[in-house]
């Protein structure tokens, strides 16, 4: 009787061990997969900082007189900008540039005789950095009024920036991450898998382009400064474990 009981227990032990080892073999071959998704964070925004530059000059054979005339132009320009409501601390005059001008002399048969000094060109650039974007835009369009004062001011295209760019980047990363997570969750649910932990995360290049423009993205990151209305975007590539 005792021998029969021992035989039965031994047989049960073999069956249990077979089940345990069988499941272990099955689980060993059940690999954990991954899902890689790319999410996009994008938003439109309006620039809150404008940088506008213009150049004025004087030509004179007398260097001292040229400086005097250029200084008078500078004072007239400063008074003009102040009369338009700009604070003096946003108006920056850069250093004066001086160029010697020469005339090339030739004989009637084309032989070069050398160069001859003619006069000096003295030029200066004025730059305005302001958060009063619309006001500076208006001034840049109306600056030809200075022609009536005898000043030729060569206006350059305004450049537009955003002073809260770092906050915007953080917001875009958050949006892109959320977008990627939703995509991964949708893929796993539709495929009958269970979304696991985040394995890796890789941030893409931050891009700023003009709204409704055909600008191409750059591998190094586009940064549009010519448009007041801009679009910011960034991508996040996330890899999740699935089972």
Band of pLDDT at residue 149, cut at 50, 70 and 90: confident
- Specify the CATH number of the domain 30-46+164-242: 3.30.110.170
Angstrom distance (rounded) from CA 211 to CA 229: 6
> Is beta strand 33-46 parallel, antiparallel or unpaired with respect to 49-60?
unpaired
Per-residue pLDDT tens for 71-113?
999 999 999 999 999 999 999 999 999 999 999 999 888 899 8
pLDDT at 220 over 80: no
CATH superfamily ID and name for 50-160: Protein of unknown function (DUF541), domain 2 (3.30.70.2970)
The average pLDDT across 103-124 equals 93
Percent of the chain with pLDDT over 70: 87
66: exposed, middle or buried (C-beta count within 10 Å: 0-12, 13-18, 19+)? buried
Task: For residue 54, give the nearest of 22, 86, 31 by alpha carbon.
Answer: 86
pLDDT at 7 over 90: no
| In the chain, domain spans | 30-46+164-242, 50-160
Q: How many CB atoms lie within 10 A of CB 23?
A: 10
pLDDT of 10: 43
* Residue 98 near residue 63, CB atoms below 8 Å: yes
Q: Which residue has the higher pLDDT, 142 or 20?
A: 142
The average pLDDT across 41-56 equals 96
Q: What is the pTM of this model?
A: 0.78
pLDDT of 213: 82
Q: Which residue has the higher pLDDT, 216 or 181?
A: 181
* Residue 137 near residue 158, CB atoms below 8 Å: yes
pLDDT of 32: 66
Band of pLDDT at residue 215, cut at 50, 70 and 90: confident
Asked which of 11-15, 56-60, 236-240 is least confident by mean pLDDT, the reply is: 11-15
162: exposed, middle or buried (C-beta count within 10 Å: 0-12, 13-18, 19+)? middle
């Amino acid at each position: 009787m005792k021998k029969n009981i021992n035989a039965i227990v031994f047989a049960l032990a073999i069956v249990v061990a077979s089940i345990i080892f069988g499941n272990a073999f099955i689980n060993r071959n059940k690999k954990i997969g991954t899902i890689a998704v790319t999410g996009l964070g994008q938003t439109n925004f309006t620039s809150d900082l404008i940088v506008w530059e213009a150049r004025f000059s004087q030509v004179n054979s007398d260097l001292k007189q040229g400086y005097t005339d250029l200084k008078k132009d500078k004072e007239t320009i400063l008074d003009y900008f102040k009369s338009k409501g700009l604070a003096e601390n946003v108006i920056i005059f850069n250093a004066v540039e001086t160029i010697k001008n020469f005339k090339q002399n030739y004989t009637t048969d084309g032989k070069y005789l050398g160069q001859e000094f003619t006069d000096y060109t003295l030029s200066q650039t004025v730059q305005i950095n302001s958060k009063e974007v619309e006001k500076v835009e208006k001034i840049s369009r109306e600056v030809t009024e200075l022609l009536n004062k005898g000043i030729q001011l060569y206006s350059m295209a305004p450049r537009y920036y955003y002073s809260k760019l770092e906050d915007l980047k953080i917001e875009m990363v958050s949006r892109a991450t959320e977008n990627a997570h939703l995509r991964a969750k949708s893929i796993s649910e539709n495929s009958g898998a269970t979304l696991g932990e985040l394995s890796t995360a890789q941030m893409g290049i931050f891009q700023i382009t003009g709204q409704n423009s055909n600008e191409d993205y750059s591998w190094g990151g586009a940064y549009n400064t010519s448009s007041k209305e801009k679009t910011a975007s960034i991508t996040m590539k996330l890899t999740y474990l699935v089972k």
